[in-house]
Amino acid sequence: MGLGAARRTVLVTGAAGFLGSHLVDRLLAEGNEVIGLDNLVTGTLENLADAMKSPRFHFELGDVRETIGVYAEQIFNFACPASPVHYQADPYFTLTTSVTGIQRVIEAARGRKCIIVQASTSEVYGDPLVHPQPESYWGHVNPIGERACYDEGKRCAETLLFDARRRWGVDARVVRIFNTYGPRMALDDGRVVSNFVVQALEKTPLTIYGDGSQTRSFCFASDLVDGIVSMTRLASVDGPVNLGNPNEFTIKQLAELVSELLGGEVVYKPLPSDDPKQRKPDITRARQLLGFEPKVSLREGLDALIRDIRGRLDQRPRRAAAP
């Protein structure tokens, strides 16, 4: 922690998840008292192994949909399954985690000085008709499709937050997170970067859905966490802020990069419904407001992810990647 930086009591919901746990580590490194809430549906305590060593970390097993009995000066709401495989496994759970969860967070923050940072998502833009996506774009979401439980849940959470801000002056700040990858992603997460790495290391073919021409822009976890924590350093932030890496790749290019590093054949599978054809964040606003600039290249980030996944696969009985 830098001299003069204030120590705060911070609540992270979804603390045992991939991003939640990296955020917890950063907040602890900055000297804060951190309470981590998680129901361990997709998160694991292994992700919090480092945090657990700190006397300033307190873990609470619980669901964000229950009343929050914690008095925190900042709440980072990261509770929600985020990979399509996981969030579609129980759509009711996913949608209520976003919507009821944010109600509970607002109730905990309302009427006092408390910053909420909400983990929203590029999924609010759906299968976008505008490219790259600026925050001003309202999106193109199928409200009754297989991704809707996540997309509409996150959209509704934004709605509730901005209403809470207008009506009650709740200090709500929203980050729209684009595709992010890095160490600690669950081996069965199913998202493309970790899936390809698991598949290549297990010597099974890399599964490209569709023809692989769809695009995504991949941000390394530590870069994303830089942006998230900087959201609390401003006196106020009005309106959502995109966070992600604007370097865009086709899924085919990603598969080629992974097989260049690890070997591996590719196999083509059907494209899931409502799969966005292209995605790339316009991060002009994050650059201007936060000085946000992703630093880790896909190649460097992949090396770190490969080391992490290789280590975990070596320690475990073989587990298959999601189909």
Contact region with ligand UDP (CB under 6 A), list: 26-34, 191-199, 220-228, 295-303: 191-199
Task: Decide if residue 155 touches ligand UDP (CB under 6 A).
Answer: no
- Measured distance CA(44)–CA(136) in Å, rounded: 35
Task: Decide if residue 191 touches ligand UDP (CB under 6 A).
Answer: yes
Ranges within 225-264 binding ligand UDP (CB under 6 A)? 251
Given 3-state DSSP classes, what are the helix, strand and coil percentages for the chain, each rounded to the nearest 5? Answer: 40, 20, 45
- Measured distance CA(238)–CA(294) in Å, rounded: 22
- Whether 150 sits among the annotated catalytic residues: the reply is yes
| Amino acid letter, residue 229 | V
- Measured distance CA(154)–CA(120) in Å, rounded: 6
Pick the closer one to ligand UDP by CB: 224 or 251: 251
The secondary structure of 228-261 as a DSSP string is HHHTTSSS---S-EEES---EEEHHHHHHHHHHH
Instruction: Extract the tokens encoding 50.
Output: 């480092």
Task: Decide if residue 272 touches ligand UDP (CB under 6 A).
Answer: yes
CA torsion through residues 84, 87, 90, 95, sign:
negative
Task: Decide if residue 84 touches ligand UDP (CB under 6 A).
Answer: yes
What would you report as the CA-atom Rg of the chain, rounded to the nearest whole angstrom?
Answer: 19
- Measured distance CA(107)–CA(71) in Å, rounded: 11
Contact region with ligand UDP (CB under 6 A), list: 13-21, 53-61, 188-196, 232-240: 188-196
With CB under 6 A as the contact rule, the residue among 94, 214, 222, 232 that binds ligand UDP is 214
Contact region with ligand UDP (CB under 6 A), list: 73-81, 133-141, 163-171, 269-277: 269-277
Contact region with ligand UDP (CB under 6 A), list: 1-9, 90-98, 102-110, 202-210: 202-210
Q: How far is the CB of 298 from ligand UDP (least distance, A)?
A: 13
CA 303 and chain centroid, separation: 20
**What phi and psi values does residue 221 have, to the nearest 5 degrees?**
-55, -45
Pick the closer one to ligand UDP by CB: 34 or 206: 206
Task: Decide if residue 216 touches ligand UDP (CB under 6 A).
Answer: yes
Task: Decide if residue 208 touches ligand UDP (CB under 6 A).
Answer: yes
| Amino acid letter, residue 167 | R
With CB under 6 A as the contact rule, the residue among 146, 226, 248, 275 that binds ligand UDP is 275
Residue tagged active-site, from 150, 181, 209, 268: 150
Interface contacts to ligand UDP, rule CB under 6 A: 83-84, 179, 191-192, 195, 207-209, 214, 216, 251, 271-272, 275
Known catalytic residues are 150
